[in-house]
Amino acid sequence: MRVPLLDLSAQYDLLAEPIRREFDEILRTQNFILGPKVEEFERALAEYCGARHAIGVSSGTDAQLAILMALGLAPGDAVITTAYTFFATAGCIARLGATPLFVDIDPATFNISPAALAQFLQRHCRRNAANQVIDGAGRTVRAIIPVHLFGLCCEMDPINEIAARYELTVIEDAAQAIGAEYPSKAGMRQAGTMSLVGSFSFYPSKNLGAAGDAGAIVCDDDGLAQRFRIFRQHGMEPRYFHHFIGGNFRLDALQAAILKVKLPYLNRWSAARRAVADIYREEFSRSRLTNRITLPAEPYRERGLTNHHIYHQFVIRTPRRDELQQHLTARGIGSAIYYPLGLHEQKCFAGLGYGPGDLLETERAARETLALPIYPELTLEMQREVVDVIAEFFA
Ligand SMILES: *Cc1c(COP(=O)(O)O)cnc(C)c1O
């Protein structure tokens, strides 16, 4: 039996009717740019995640770029983030002439390690006369970007405490974690809303996927939200009067409409993904594989949360990862490596001066992790096939 890594067609079959109705209406009115469809989706999204404002943008990457532009990131600045993430997180920093500074991950969750973050600031940064945080090369450290990887929130309480101590801005990359909850000391909080500003991606394969590229920015501050809206349209307000150098980061009405149709289903889909994850756990333990592979950690499971993990990916690890993937491919089972290289080892960042051994846990994760098929419509039979084929490999 073939088991694809992801199959989006079942979700479309469920929602084809309402999506087509929305598209027909937009095509009839020819209202493609911003307008009521975008505003309706922005309101629904803000309400869903408990933020005061949501600003629809053209992609998750553009959300991050617009945020950093609006916050005035410039050459000579630096931003601390993780190297175990999709390229965009660091790419947006570098595109503005600023420098990404990488700290290592927690090997259990793959998220940025608060201990490594604290250590980096303590050992490699100092305060100047103006009380700014300066790194070893004299750059001004402006912000920290934690990434809620694979659908699990970072440990935001310690991250926010460290950031407050150094007066650094925190910007969440919540591209993979829409709806994921965190048991903060202040109560349950959702990914993207635990810091100054957060970003989402609605790339088709994300848990809430558009029919193309789309993204959003969420924040609570009224002035900041207005600033993001202006940056989304070439820094323009009103039309043809440019306060800032922004970009075209608008969300299409067609994308907003499909996202608005899908949003009410998101919690159901996340619950279905968790059920798939639970079945994997049972089947792997029944097949006595839990000493061969490491299953994803669920640190917030027993803390009274619903979306303690939204399983954007179900990622296992084994030192025999490459052989295992070959075996799965040969048997028609989809899998993927997120990510084969830490960003600090990417060719385009060679100029940053990192080398092998600088981020040991990131490098080990890049060698050992493998994402298995997970989506709401994955059947028990398909999951058993995945586990059987893995058992066969280790037999
Ligand atoms: C998908 C993703 C992005 C970029 O989103 P796009 O919508 O593809 O531009 C950024 N960061 C992370 C962690 C992602 O997974």
Read out DSSP for 80-131? EEESSS-THHHHHHHHTT-EEEEEPBPTTT-SBPHHHHHHHHHHHEEE-TT-
Cα of 60 to ligand 1 centre, how many Å? 5
pLDDT at position 207 is: 98
Cα of 114 to ligand 1 centre, how many Å? 22
pLDDT at position 240 is: 95
Contact 79, 141 (CB under 8 A): yes
**Is 213's C-beta closer than 6 angstroms to any atom of ligand 1?**
yes
Hey, what amino acid is at 92?
C
Q: Which atom of ligand 1 is nearest to the CA of 63?
A: 9
pLDDT at position 174 is: 98
**Is 215's C-beta closer than 6 angstroms to any atom of ligand 1?**
yes
9-264 and 266-394 share one CATH topology? no
**Is 111's C-beta closer than 6 angstroms to any atom of ligand 1?**
no
CATH fold of 266-394: Aspartate Aminotransferase, domain 1 (3.90.1150)
The three-state secondary structure class of 265 is helix
d(CA 220, CA 46): 9
**Is 88's C-beta closer than 6 angstroms to any atom of ligand 1?**
yes
Please state whether beta strands 99-103 and 77-82 pair in parallel, antiparallel, or not at all (unpaired): parallel
pLDDT at position 67 is: 98
Positions of the chain with pLDDT under 70: none
Cα of 355 to ligand 1 centre, how many Å? 25
Tokens of 212: 């193309």
227-245 pLDDT per residue, tens: 999 999 999 999 999 999 9
Closest by CA to 317, choosing from 298, 336, 293, is 293
pLDDT at position 294 is: 98
58, 67, 105, 201: which to mutate for ligand 1, most atoms within 8 A of CB?
201
CATH architecture entry for 9-264: 3-Layer(aba) Sandwich (3.40)
Q: Which atom of ligand 1 is nearest to the CA of 85?
A: 13
Hey, what amino acid is at 227?
R
Domain boundaries, the chain: 9-264, 266-394
